[in-house]
């Protein structure tokens, strides 16, 4: 061969195998779904191929003698501020393949994380803090349209009663929900784990665009069912199975484009749920072919309300883009009870890398602008706002609520809690941790009982921390924090950024 592709020897990770510790037990061979480890018959020992390693660290975690270490490849290109290694690698790959570069999970691009530039207030002498262990601390949240005003009356015994009829609401005991991840993109064990965890926590999880397996209908009081452009798994029973319905218009990780679940992931259970043939690709086009205006969206919203007999709220999920505030205003005026705004750092099973890393805006800026626009127009009470796309910890949740969110979705954090290591190869269907795969051998690595327990632990831990932070601010309910931007201060932000976020600089 006259020309050897540089990609063959330039790879991201190196497998270090300690020869003194390795006992050739073949655990790494069995665990690696990418076949980076293999048994060499001639040498009668385990060998490895560095070019196949994706950095998932499963072999390292399960090696019984701690003989393996996965590290970044130290090989470096000549420094060039304009032509960073990632661009060189991408060009080499595309010159070899002629294809679109796919990526999974959230964007690794170094764009500002505004959560880290926002600081919370704390109470002192004139406004004492509250001890959440000894005083009531309310995290309960209701998602749905609220009335312009409420009218109270008295019952026969003279007790106060609410006379105003309220729109349908989703009741959450904590403002944290599990984000939309479709059955097919992740496997049935994880869907069942999220359903169980949401039920135990008395919060909600989102089915994603792949429908809901009938065995999970019993968790419907804590399930938000999604309707996407492909209409996979959508039928009357499905629409009436959940506590809410969400129309997916956009996704933060890939605004403006559709989705594609490869046929390799469509097994019998996914086929039954999505109502498509086994092994066929599931393609969700970018636009809904019945929505080309706000008026069209209004018709779908009320068609779904009719189908569910006006018993549940209808949400609309939009991606965080430049004119997101105006879009949100139109969505509320079209009759949506909830708006989900998904920022560009949100995760995904598969997206073109160029779109994931270059399209959309961070959730912090989008959330603040949407909340302010709805307040300015006097329609903020007509819809709840849910923030998604880059929520990493309980402090992010508190800051999101202070910026105007009623609740948040967590997706990547959900997967991390059950073992995901952000290797970003979800689209291959070979997830070594048994998450983004329907391979029966790999899926077994996720025990739904264990996974559910981890999800419950995570949300309970975050909820306790939220109560501590609320108490430190002198607040005893999440309602008192919502949109209360005076509890935030910015550090190292420009005047424009502070203006969009609606917060003062620290020291003021």
Annotated binding site for [4Fe-4S] cluster: 22, 25, 28, 32, 53, 56, 59, 63
> Is the Cβ–Cβ distance between 452 and 193 less than 8 Å?
yes
String of b and e for 203-235 (b: at least 16 CB within 10 Å)? bbbbbbbbbbbeebeebbebbbbbbbbbbbbbe
CA 397 vs. chain centroid, Å, equals 13
For the range 165-170, what are the long-range contacts, defined as Cβ-Cβ under 8 Å and sequence gap of 24 or more? 167/313, 167/337, 168/144, 168/310, 168/311, 168/312, 168/313, 168/337, 169/142, 169/143, 169/144, 169/313, 170/142, 170/143, 170/144, 170/204, 170/224, 170/243, 170/244, 170/312, 170/313, 170/338
* CA-based max dimension of the chain: 94
Two structure tokens written together for 143 = 């998602």
Give the C-alpha separation, 344 to 465, whole Å: 26
Two structure tokens written together for 201 = 């926590």
183 phi and psi angles, rounded to 5 deg: -70, 115
DSSP code at position 380: G
* Residue 424 Rama label (left phi>0; alpha psi -120 to 50; beta): left
24-to-19, 47, 70, 340, 472 alpha-carbon distances in Å: 9, 9, 17, 50, 54
Give the C-alpha separation, 434 to 362, whole Å: 29
DSSP code at position 271: H
Binding residues: 22, 25, 28, 32, 53, 56, 59, 63
Give the C-alpha separation, 478 to 456, whole Å: 20
Select from 435, 425, 423, 343 the least CA-distant residue to 391. 343
Two structure tokens written together for 491 = 């550090």
């Amino acid at each position: 061969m006259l020309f050897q592709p540089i990609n063959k020897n330039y790879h991201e990770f190196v497998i270090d195998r300690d020869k003194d510790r390795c006992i050739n037990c073949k655990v790494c061979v069995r665990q690696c779904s990418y076949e980076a480890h293999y048994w060499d018959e001639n040498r009668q020992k385990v060998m490895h191929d560095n070019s196949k390693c994706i950095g998932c660290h499963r072999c390292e975690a399960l090696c019984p003698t701690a003989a393996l270490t996965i590290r970044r490849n130290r090989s470096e290109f000549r420094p060039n501020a304009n032509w960073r290694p990632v661009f060189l690698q991408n060009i080499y790959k595309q010159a070899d393949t002629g294809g679109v570069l796919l990526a999974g999970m959230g964007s690794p691009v170094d764009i500002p994380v505004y959560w880290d530039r926002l600081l919370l207030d704390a109470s002192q002498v004139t406004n004492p803090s509250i001890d959440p262990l000894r005083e009531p601390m309310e995290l309960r949240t209701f998602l749905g349209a609220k009335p312009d005003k409420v009218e109270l009356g008295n019952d026969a015994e003279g007790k106060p009663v609410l006379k105003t009829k309220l729109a349908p609401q989703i009741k959450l005991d904590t403002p944290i929900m599990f984000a939309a991840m479709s059955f097919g993109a992740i496997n049935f064990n994880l869907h069942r784990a999220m359903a169980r965890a949401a039920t135990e926590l008395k919060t909600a999880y989102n089915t994603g665009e792949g429908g809901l397996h009938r065995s999970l209908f019993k968790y419907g009081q804590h399930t938000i069912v999604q309707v996407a452009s492909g209409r996979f798994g959508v039928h009357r029973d499905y629409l009436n199975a959940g506590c809410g319905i969400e129309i997916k218009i956009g996704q933060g990780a890939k605004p403006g484009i559709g989705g594609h679940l490869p046929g390799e992931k469509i097994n019998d259970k996914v086929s039954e749920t999505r109502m498509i043939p086994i092994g066929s690709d599931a393609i969700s086009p970018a636009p809904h072919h019945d929505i080309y205006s706000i008026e069209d969206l209004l018709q779908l919203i009320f068609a779904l309300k009719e189908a569910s007999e006006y018993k549940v709220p209808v949400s609309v999920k939009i991606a965080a883009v430049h004119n997101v505030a105006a879009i949100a205003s139109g969505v509320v005026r079209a009759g949506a009870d909830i708006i989900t705004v998904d920022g560009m750092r949100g995760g995904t099973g598969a997206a073109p890398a160029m779109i994931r890393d270059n399209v959309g805006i961070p959730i912090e800026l989008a959330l603040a602008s949407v909340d302010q626009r709805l307040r300015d127009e006097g329609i903020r009470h007509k819809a709840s706002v849910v923030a998604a796309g880059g929520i990493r910890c309980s402090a992010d949740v508190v800051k999101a609520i202070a910026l105007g969110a009623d609740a948040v979705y967590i997706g990547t954090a959900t997967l991390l809690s059950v073992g995901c290591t952000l290797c970003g190869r979800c689209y291959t269907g070979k997830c070594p941790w048994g998450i983004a795969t329907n391979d029966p051998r790999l899926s077994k690595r996720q025990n739904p009982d264990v996974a559910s327990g981890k999800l419950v632990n995570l949300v309970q831990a975050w909820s306790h921390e939220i109560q501590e932070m609320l108490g430190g601010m002198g607040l005893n309910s999440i309602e008192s924090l919502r949109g209360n931007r005076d509890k935030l201060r910015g550090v190292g932000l420009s005047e424009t950024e502070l203006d969009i976020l609606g917060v003062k600089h620290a020291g003021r």
